[in-house]
Structure 1
Amino acid sequence: MGKMKMRLILLVAAAVTMAACKKVINVDLNNAAPQIVIEGEITNGKAPYFVRVSKSVSFSSSNVYPPVTNAEVYIKDSANGIIDHLAQVDSGVYRTQQLVGVMQHTFVLSVTIDGKQYRAVSKMPKPVPLDSVTFALNFDFNNNQEINAVVNFEDPIGLGNYYQFIETLNGRLIPNVFVFEDRLSDGRYIEQPLFNDSSYLKKNDTLEITMNCVDKNIYNYFFTLANVTGNNNFQTATPANPVTNISNGALGYFSAHTTQRAKLVVY
């Protein structure tokens, strides 16, 4: 990891999670009949990989999604023709049996439930190395001191690089959505703070940062998810479903991405 450093930053505008300007996409509110929810990932990490299938509940209901146990789930590696029939290992949880995630391969997910097929395609990008994680000392509008992680990395030359960051603080996943695109920063060295307005970091905390290089569709999914949840400080007026790459009216996402992690103590 690169040399750790502490910076003093005076915030002069509202801290936002999203790192790039982008038009908000308006989508229909899901507050009626249940819909299929599919969440699946293929990474360059060690197999197996998992796909979770459930049904949505209305916006006003408790956040408990009933699992779907009668799905037929397949993932195809378009580059080598391997088709993996996923085995159900828990209620609504399906696991690969032979597939290996390979960067720049395109993966096709097919889920069939009661004769209806849902499909998604995702191409795994090349990995971009995470150079280091540092910390920035900030002040909010009430002049309270806070610490935020800063991810540092070199964006490759050429537009079309998309990033997702995940924070795990003292073993607990932080729900904030952090995504970044290089539309305004192509080929530059990036020093991006991860502004966290729900769980402030404290000295001696243990923080794990996960950096995923994702494709454009997955970036759009998490960008719109942040607008739905309001964790980019600009929640949409009407709760809505994030943009998905899954066909036939399903919710959720299927992502083939590279991943890397850094674990360190906040100081």
Structure 2
Amino acid sequence: MVVGLACKKVIQVNLHEASSRVVIEGEITDIPGIYQVKISRTVPYSDDNIFPPVQGAIVQVTDSNNGILYPFVETYPGLYTCKFTGVIRHTYQLTVNADSQLYTASSTMPAGVRLDSVTFAVNTNLNGKKEINAVVNFQDPPVPGNYYQFIEYLNGRQIPDIFVFENRLSKGRYIEQALYNDSSYLQKGDTLEMKMYCVDKNIYNYFFSLAQIIGNNGGFQSASPANPNTNLTGGALGYFSAHTVSEEKLLVY
């Protein structure tokens, strides 16, 4: 199943709720680099659309397979970073202590699947206009429980659409899946960077539910009756994901 709905990757809550909620967004990958955990707070609908950072938190990630602890340092208000490399099939435990409240999350990095290629297809949209869509091509492993997320960058800027895929009905098949954009349209000569993440089931459920909320409520201008299915405990919104990355950069043709 592929979900492709236009939305920005901003955590959405009931805009009329009075109490502020902590929002945590963190990712670890199999690519060496500096990983980030962003912590902020929600604001009421009547306030400006500025989410205040949560400063002074204690943030750490523990590799449950070997016990190694990675402390994150606040390098910018609300932004906590640490440099290391995630390992496939390892489970990572995030703990955040912010304002005397403990938040935790766990994510297991799946085995990676290689993005073979990105091609393009010309389709006619509902308005009768021709549009170019990227097509991702890859071999799905012949086992159940594979979950994917696709991120597109068009001319250096991320396309704010959600694309998630699970192989419940297609395990073991060669996948050729078009990604239909609602917010940005490809033109010949554009530079496209496609990233394919292999994510765990909790992260798939988070983005799938986020896409459903946005699709059922007319976008982020509407108050949501529910929040996405987070893997965080302690009442926080957001997600913590350990995933692999396969990517390709090319010109649209």
- What SS does the aligned partner of 1:228 have? helix
What amino acid sits opposite 2:162 in the alignment? V
Could you tell me how far apart the structure 1 residues matched to 2:99 and 2:115 are? 43
Q: Which 4+ residue blocks in structure 1 deviate beyond 6 angstroms?
A: 232-237
- What SS does the aligned partner of 2:116 have? strand
- What SS does the aligned partner of 1:48 have? strand
Structure 1 residue aligned with 2:165: 180
Q: Report how far residue 61 of structure 1 moved.
A: 4.5
Distance 1:59 1:164, change over 3 A: farther
- What SS does the aligned partner of 2:205 have? helix
Could you tell me how far apart the structure 1 residues matched to 2:37 and 2:113 are? 25
- What SS does the aligned partner of 1:227 have? helix
Could you tell me how far apart the structure 2 residues matched to 1:204 and 1:216 are? 36
Aligned positions, number: 243
Residue among 174, 187, 205 paired with 1:220: 205
Could you tell me how far apart the structure 2 residues matched to 1:233 and 1:36 are? 23
What amino acid sits opposite 1:226 in the alignment? A
Q: Report how far residue 60 of structure 1 moved.
A: 5.7
Greater alpha carbon shift after TM alignment, 29-38 vs 234-243: 234-243
Greater alpha carbon shift after TM alignment, 63-72 vs 73-82: 63-72
Distance 1:16 1:234, change over 3 A: farther
Q: Report how far residue 59 of structure 1 moved.
A: 4.6
Distance 1:160 1:59, change over 3 A: farther
Residue among 92, 96, 103 paired with 1:111: 96
Structure 2 residue aligned with 1:265: 251
Aligned positions of 1:21-170 closer than 5 A? 29=14, 31-32=16-17, 33-59=19-45, 61-97=47-83, 99-170=84-155
Could you tell me how far apart the structure 1 residues matched to 2:243 and 2:183 are? 26
Could you tell me how far apart the structure 2 residues matched to 1:123 and 1:28 are? 26
> Could you tell me whether the CA contact under 8 Å between 2:3 and 2:165 is conserved in 1?
no
> Could you tell me whether the CA contact under 8 Å between 1:87 and 1:94 is conserved in 2?
yes
- What SS does the aligned partner of 1:219 have? helix
Question: What is the TM-score with the length of structure 2 in the denominator?
Answer: 0.90
Structure 2 residue aligned with 1:23: none
Distance 1:51 1:16, change over 3 A: closer
Q: Report how far residue 63 of structure 1 moved.
A: 3.3
Could you tell me how far apart the structure 1 residues matched to 2:42 and 2:219 are? 21
Q: Report how far residue 187 of structure 1 moved.
A: 0.9
> Could you tell me whether the CA contact under 8 Å between 1:165 and 1:210 is conserved in 2?
yes
Q: Report how far residue 28 of structure 1 moved.
A: 7.7
- What SS does the aligned partner of 1:187 have? coil
Aligned positions of 1:172-211 closer than 5 A? 172-211=157-196
Question: What is the TM-score with the length of structure 1 in the denominator?
Answer: 0.85
Q: Report how far residue 108 of structure 1 moved.
A: 0.1
Structure 2 residue aligned with 1:6: none
Q: Report how far residue 140 of structure 1 moved.
A: 1.2
Could you tell me how far apart the structure 1 residues matched to 2:105 and 2:227 are? 17
Could you tell me how far apart the structure 2 residues matched to 1:256 and 1:30 are? 29
- What SS does the aligned partner of 1:229 have? helix
Q: Report how far residue 201 of structure 1 moved.
A: 0.6
Structure 1 residue aligned with 2:233: 247
* C-alpha RMSD of matched pairs (Å): 2.2
What amino acid sits opposite 1:34 in the alignment? S
1:131-159 per-position Cα deviation (integer Å, ceiling 9, x unaligned): 11000110012211001000000100111
| Percent of pairs with identical residues | 55
> Could you tell me whether the CA contact under 8 Å between 1:227 and 1:235 is conserved in 2?
no
Could you tell me how far apart the structure 2 residues matched to 1:142 and 1:28 are? 32
Structure 2 residue aligned with 1:17: 4
